[in-house]
Amino acid sequence: MNPITHVAIIMDGNGRWGIKHKKSRNLGHRAGLITVERIIKSTIKNKIKYLTLYAFSTENWKRPKKEVNFLFGLLDRFIDQKIDEFNKQNIKLKVIGNITVLNSKLKKKLKKSEYMTKKNSRLQVNLALNYGSKSELINAFKKITKKKQNINVKNIEKNLYTSNIPDPDILIRTGNTNRLSNFLLWQMAYSEIFFEKKLWPAFNEKDYRRVIKNFKKIKRNFGSI
Ligand code: IPE
Ligand code: IPE
Ligand code: MG
């Protein structure tokens, strides 16, 4: 049976779910947050230590300004409403991605949340925000060059946003789309990938349990036999 330390999720399909059920993409994003809470609870129940959630990519700025603003507003309120509860549940929050470009109020809130929860140990939730794997790698190479270090696996990994975080065992992408969309390209070299048909707001604990069950049965070779 494979142990599971880290699950990464591309939470895709909010917009389509919103149009189908509420006639609005944004209401789909709001519904997606309920799934986030459900999946966090279930991750704890399954004793998984790391959960990485793709919330906003470096390419998502191409969306209409109204949708982008709605998404960041939603995140802002979510932090306000949930951070104390996460803290009580011994959850550590970490943001991965380039948040320097976000508005300073939200940036402060995220930094404060990270600081407040940094000693928590039951589950680490990595929120990928303005995250892009290519820019993460470019940054890592730049830092290595600046420090005049050798380019090798260890040094690259030390300079990624995910330094000290084990690679994902499982990637789940909901929304019936089979691509990686610039997510954790280095880190997922050996992840088991589950493309799920359901849209993110419809993804539930039962679906998650099925993925975990199927993962456990896989023979992971890592190049060996
Ligand atoms: C959520 O799903 C992903 C985010 C960028 C928050 P989408 O908004 O991409 O939903 P679809 O794929 O358009 O349905
Ligand atoms: C990936 O979904 C990004 C997030 C889930 C945050 P997208 O909906 O942006 O991906 P593409 O554009 O369809 O590849
Ligand atoms: Mg999408």
- The pLDDT tens digits for 12-63 are 999 999 999 999 999 999 999 999 999 999 999 999 999 999 999 999 999 9
User: Is residue 127 scored above 90 in pLDDT?
Assistant: yes
Q: Are 9 and 52 in contact (CB under 8 A)?
A: yes
Strand (E) or helix (H) holding 126: strand 123-131
The CA-based angle 181-182-183, given to 5 degrees, is 95
Contact criterion met (CB below 8 Å) for 123 and 43: yes
Residue nearest to atom 11 of ligand 2 (CA): 181
Q: Are residues 38 and 201 in contact, defined by beta-carbon separation less than 8 angstroms?
A: no
pLDDT grade for 85, boundaries at 50, 70 and 90: very high
* Contact 14 CB / ligand 1 (< 6 Å): yes
86 vs 35: CA distance, rounded Å: 15
- What span, in angstroms and rounded, lies between the C-alpha atoms of 112 and 160? 21
pLDDT of res. 222: 97
| Separation of CA 9 and ligand 2 centre (Å) | 11
Ligand 2 atom at minimal distance to the Cα of residue 15: 8
Q: Is the pLDDT of residue 140 over 90?
A: yes
CA-based nearest residue to 17, from 204, 214, 194: 204
pLDDT at residue number 182: 98
**Tens digits of residue pLDDT in 177-197:** 999 999 999 999 999 999 999
Query: Does residue 144 have a pLDDT over 90?
Result: yes
Q: What is the pLDDT of residue 73?
A: 98
Tell me the three state secondary structure of residue 28.
Answer: helix
Confidence of residue 75 (pLDDT cuts 50, 70, 90): very high
Specify the DSSP class assigned to residue 196.
-
